Structure 1
C-alpha cells in the first residue's frame, strides 16, 4: 500500500513542479528555506504554522548533503503534512527506521534522481553515486535497479 501512496504523490509532484534542483523546487512550492546551525547529527527539520512551511537545514553541514535533506523534508510535507522526526545523518543502519522516515526517503530519492541525468547515474559505481547524489551509503537501498 505504501508503494502506491508514494507513486501517486510522486506523480502529482512531477506534474505540478519543474524538477530542476531541491532549492528551486522549494521556491516553486512557496516553501521557505532557513539555513541554521544545528547539532552535528541533525541535517534538518520542518516547521509549519498558519499553513506556512519552513524547512530548516543545518548550515554546518557540507552543501553536498543538503539537497537530499531538503527533498526528505519536502517529502514529509507532501506525504505526512509536515509530521516528521529531524533528519539525521545516520538514518538507521541496522536499526529500526520508522515508516514515515522510509516513505520520506523513498520519495526524496525519486525526486533527487529526476533532478540528475539517468544515463550518467547508470555509469557510476556505488561509491561514485554516493558522492554524486550527496547521500549516505545507507540511502543506496532507496535507489531502484535500472534497466540498462
Structure 2
C-alpha cells in the first residue's frame, strides 16, 4: 500500500468505528442518497458548501453498494471529493485513472476491516467476491495474507 493511502487509512481507523459503510458515513456526517442511475454507474459524490453527499445507484443490489459507498468515501478523504463517476463496466478497455486506483485500494482496506478476517481467510476467491460485494477485478487490491 502506498504511504499516502496508508497514512489516510490510519487516520480513518483512529477517528471512526469501522463497523459498516453506512455507519461510517453517519459518523463522518456525510449524507447518503439512493437514486436510480444508469446500470454502469454505481455512485458518485457531490459536495456543496463543504457538505458532501454520496449518491448510490438504487437500481443496484444492496449487497454491492457497501464497496461503492467506501469507494466514494475514499475519494472524499484522499482527493477532496474529486472523482469520476464510479464503476464503468470492467473490460471496456478504459484505463482506470490513478485516483480510481487509490480510491479502490483504500475502499478495499476499509471493507476488509468491516468483516471477520478469519472468515475471509476461509473463503475461496469466488466466495470472497460475493461475501465482500465486489467485482472480480477488485481482488487485486486485497492483500495476499487475507486470501
TM-score, normalization by structure 1: 0.95
1:8-87 alignment to 2 at 5 Å? 8-87=7-86
Q: Gapped runs of 5+ residues in structure 1?
A: none
What is the CA–CA distance in structure 2 between the aligned matches of 1:34 and 1:129, rounded to whole Å?
27
SS of match in other structure, 1:13: helix
TM-score, normalization by structure 2: 0.96
Detail structure 1 runs of 4+ shifted over 2 Å in the superposition. 89-95
Aligned pair count reads 147
The Cα of 1:89 is off from its aligned counterpart by: 4.9
SS of match in other structure, 2:38: coil
| 1:132 aligned onto 2:131 | yes
What is the CA–CA distance in structure 2 between the aligned matches of 1:35 and 1:147, rounded to whole Å?
31
What is the CA–CA distance in structure 2 between the aligned matches of 1:147 and 1:126, rounded to whole Å?
11
- Give the 3 Å change call, closer, same or farther, for CA 103–147 of structure 1 in structure 2: closer
- Give the 3 Å change call, closer, same or farther, for CA 147–19 of structure 1 in structure 2: closer
What is the CA–CA distance in structure 1 between the aligned matches of 2:9 and 2:88, rounded to whole Å?
24
- Give the 3 Å change call, closer, same or farther, for CA 57–84 of structure 1 in structure 2: same
What is the CA–CA distance in structure 2 between the aligned matches of 1:129 and 1:147, rounded to whole Å?
10
SS of match in other structure, 1:48: strand
